[in-house]
Structure 1
Amino acid sequence: VGMGKKSEIKLDKELTVEEQLEKAEASAKKLRAKIKKNMKGKDDATLQEISKGLPKVDKYAMKCRRTLRGHLAKIYGCQWAGNAPHLASVSQDGRLLVWNALTTLKLKAYQISCSWTMTCGFAPSGNFVACGGLDNICTIYAATADSTNPTAELQGHDGYISCCRFIDDRQVLTTSGDSECFLWDIETKKNTTTFKGHSSDAMSVSIAPDNNTFVTGGCDNTCILWDIKSGEMINCFEGHTDDVNSVKFLPSGTAFGSGSDDSTCRLFDIRANSELLSLEEPNEVTCNSVTFSLSGRLMFSSYSDPVIRVWDSLKGTKVASLKGHSQHVSCLDMSHDGTALASGCWDNAIKVWA
């Protein structure tokens, strides 16, 4: 309007609603690419230029300190409680386990009706655990109770549950193969807010430290930043060329990392609305999971191979490779105090690194 050209998005009455939406999305994608091209080169400086004078990270000597064995099949998800050393994990064996990672003892074992469980979450308080998978249900359990029966079963998604993360003991966020993200009230078992923006499966969610925003990654190759209270999309981050499998906020809350099937893990700044860093593995392996050290200086990424990579998130260089698993490393999570990294693998084992 007033720019000499009309919008490229025009609806054709002869097209179906789905075709019109596809046409509008394609046009919007072109416009975003045009904006990105115009913005390129206008940054004050790159991350590498700013960090040039900083000292390098010394050789990183993280070792495997514990191996947790108890699952009988591939592990798909793991997450620490806020009160480490408690850790939750889910596996293709149809069990959700709660561990004391320090002693390697299993504290709880929940038998899940859906064997294809894809994700688990641990409330920051340590009071509740959640899991979800191909049954389209997010199931909540009381981790501190004697009973292993579900506290709540949250039903409403039309696709598999790909990720679940607690905001607190009363609310949990889920992403799904139906492309949507739900905010649930656990007590009422109701979906209070639906977040729509992805055009394909929503695969991962990470909540900002202030609990006001969260980011999701999806099979439409994008990451979306959301406002929890309003339910509105704040921004859409592009750059990946394949499915985004994992997203994770830095502890500072000013940026987030992402991992994708395009063999890259990336760093996005939410204040500048831009990509800061792209780290690529040349071996054509898919990046399954990303997480950060407590300072945010180190970025950990796992792939469809047995090796965990450790990156300097400021300089964009590889600091170390953590070796110990024998198969595809599916999930990573750093403890809240930053003292231990947990990794889950298709070799049925969880390793704790420190």
Structure 2
Amino acid sequence: MPKDDPETAALKEELNSMIANFKAEQEKQNDCKLAEKCGDLPDVPKIRLAGKKILKGHINKVNSVHFAGDSRHCVTGSLDGKLIIWDTWTANKVQIIPLRSAWVMSVAFSPSGNFVACGGMDNQCTIYDLNNRDSTGVAKMTRELLGYEGFLSSCRFLDDNHIITGSGDMKICHWDLESGKKTMEFDGHAGDVVSISLSPDMNQYVTGSVDKTCKLWDVREDHHKQMFFGHEADVNSVCFHPSGFAFATASEDKTARLYDLRSDQQIAQYSPPNTTSGFTSCALSFSGRYIICGSVDNNIHSWDTLKTTHTGMLAGHENRITSICLTPNGMALASCSWDQNVRVWV
């Protein structure tokens, strides 16, 4: 790779120095480590989720999965150019939606279950109404949200009429779906915005980026409230803690981490027994006591969030896991993979 010019190199050195100073100041405020403080707590059981269903239907890599608010239906997007709506209780397909572009990277189910969204290398976010079908029985496309200068990497519904998106052009956009217009557009990060997670009260959200940082936002504002450092590579996934006071991350740097909003810093770090594989996705259990991460080693790893001990591994996929999603009621976990399958763990 070509070397940076002297001015760029100097700016990078200054930025790294500032980050190091921030970390040093944060460290001064720490009176103990989370794992040390929680060391006398009883150990949580090893994770005992079992693979109850294998959802077969895609014929190419499955890149994203997301549950509806009913904790029963989920949507998956694949490079076969299809969205599939699944009934995870029966493993039946509810709908198959053909896409104009096969390069889907992110999917989202509205909490009501009325709409799904998807996007990817087509540089747009497309919305489908599941209750309104055409003559062939396929859900009608209601909106194509255009105007991105990079791929659409993440999207999440606030409600049936509003959605937030992150993209490869480093921007975050808020959309009014009734009018099909942006209500906000702003630079979110210094790199691709890879992941978005909404807070339990839907008033805040956190983003992860390839710029190695995470940011906390208010849904009514176009500037971040807090920025979090620590990862040494792309932050591939973020997930809000059920309490609303913390969030988890999964990174290419082979670690997962927990950040506390009140102390404005990282409070725990999690590494698998085999530290040769990065993480692609993360989730937190309904209680917040387990952090769960999908890995490029084909497995799902879990840890005790408080004691930072590894609590088990879910094996079954035959290729890298691209996305995991916990049901809103916390009773099941869905995972999808490059092996073309979707698995439901209960």
TM-score normalized by structure 2? 0.94
1:227 equivalent to 2:218? Answer yes
Pick the aligned partner of 1:283 from 275, 285, 305: 275
Residue 145 of structure 1: how far off its partner (Å): 2.2
| Residue number in structure 1 paired with 2:165 | 174
Pick the aligned partner of 2:50 from 58, 63, 71: 63
Give, in whole Å, the separation in 2 of the partners of 1:135 and 1:19. Answer: 37
| Residue number in structure 2 paired with 1:136 | 123
CA shift digits 1:25-68 (9 cap, x unpaired): 75344223212212314312221122112110123321001110
| Residue number in structure 2 paired with 1:216 | 207
Contact 1:262–1:284 (Cα < 8 Å) also in 2: no
Compared CA separation, residues 160 and 42, structure 1 to 2 (3 A): same
Contact 1:156–1:191 (Cα < 8 Å) also in 2: no
CA shift digits 1:78-118 (9 cap, x unpaired): 00000121000000100011010011111111111111100
| Residue number in structure 2 paired with 1:34 | 21
Structure 1: runs of 5+ lacking an equivalent: 1-17
Bigger drift between 324-333 and 34-43 goes to 34-43
Give, in whole Å, the separation in 1 of the partners of 2:263 and 2:94. Answer: 44
| Residue number in structure 1 paired with 2:228 | 237
Pick the aligned partner of 1:79 from 59, 66, 71: 66
| Residue number in structure 2 paired with 1:197 | 188
Aligned residue runs from structure 1 range 304-315, under 5 A: 304-315=296-307
Bigger drift between 124-133 and 142-151 goes to 142-151
Letter aligned with residue 56 of structure 1:
D
| Residue number in structure 2 paired with 1:260 | 251
Pick the aligned partner of 1:335 from 320, 323, 327: 327
CA shift digits 1:289-311 (9 cap, x unpaired): 00011001011101112110011
Give, in whole Å, the separation in 2 of the partners of 1:223 and 1:30. Answer: 18
1:297 equivalent to 2:284? Answer no
Contact 1:184–1:193 (Cα < 8 Å) also in 2: yes
Residue 193 of structure 1: how far off its partner (Å): 1.1
| Residue number in structure 1 paired with 2:93 | 106
Secondary structure (helix, strand or coil) at the match of 1:53 reads: coil
Residue 209 of structure 1: how far off its partner (Å): 1.0
Give, in whole Å, the separation in 2 of the partners of 1:283 and 1:272. Answer: 28
Secondary structure (helix, strand or coil) at the match of 2:25 reads: helix
1:158 equivalent to 2:145? Answer no
Pick the aligned partner of 1:206 from 177, 194, 197: 197
Residue 127 of structure 1: how far off its partner (Å): 0.7
Contact 2:133–2:140 (Cα < 8 Å) also in 1: no
Secondary structure (helix, strand or coil) at the match of 2:35 reads: helix
Secondary structure (helix, strand or coil) at the match of 1:39 reads: helix
Residue 144 of structure 1: how far off its partner (Å): 2.2
Letter aligned with residue 72 of structure 1:
I
Compared CA separation, residues 20 and 226, structure 1 to 2 (3 A): farther
Compared CA separation, residues 184 and 233, structure 1 to 2 (3 A): same
Contact 1:312–1:318 (Cα < 8 Å) also in 2: yes
Give, in whole Å, the separation in 2 of the partners of 1:23 and 1:173. Answer: 35
Structure 2: runs of 5+ lacking an equivalent: none
How many residues of Structure 1 are paired with residues of Structure 2 in the alignment?
Answer: 337
Compared CA separation, residues 81 and 19, structure 1 to 2 (3 A): farther
| Residue number in structure 2 paired with 1:270 | 261
Give, in whole Å, the separation in 2 of the partners of 1:319 and 1:195. Answer: 40
Give, in whole Å, the separation in 1 of the partners of 2:141 and 2:201. Answer: 29
**CA RMSD between the two structures:** 1.7
Runs of 4+ off more than 4 Å: 18-26
Contact 1:77–1:119 (Cα < 8 Å) also in 2: yes
| Residue number in structure 2 paired with 1:188 | 179
Letter aligned with residue 231 of structure 2:
H
CA shift digits 1:155-213 (9 cap, x unpaired): 12110000111111111111100011111111111111123231111111101111111
| Residue number in structure 2 paired with 1:9 | none
Bigger drift between 130-139 and 58-67 goes to 58-67
TM-score normalized by structure 1? 0.91
Give, in whole Å, the separation in 1 of the partners of 2:288 and 2:163. Answer: 25
| Residue number in structure 2 paired with 1:349 | 341
Give, in whole Å, the separation in 2 of the partners of 1:290 and 1:225. Answer: 17
Contact 1:265–1:279 (Cα < 8 Å) also in 2: yes
1:115 equivalent to 2:102? Answer yes
Identity %: 37
Letter aligned with residue 187 of structure 2:
K
Compared CA separation, residues 312 and 234, structure 1 to 2 (3 A): same
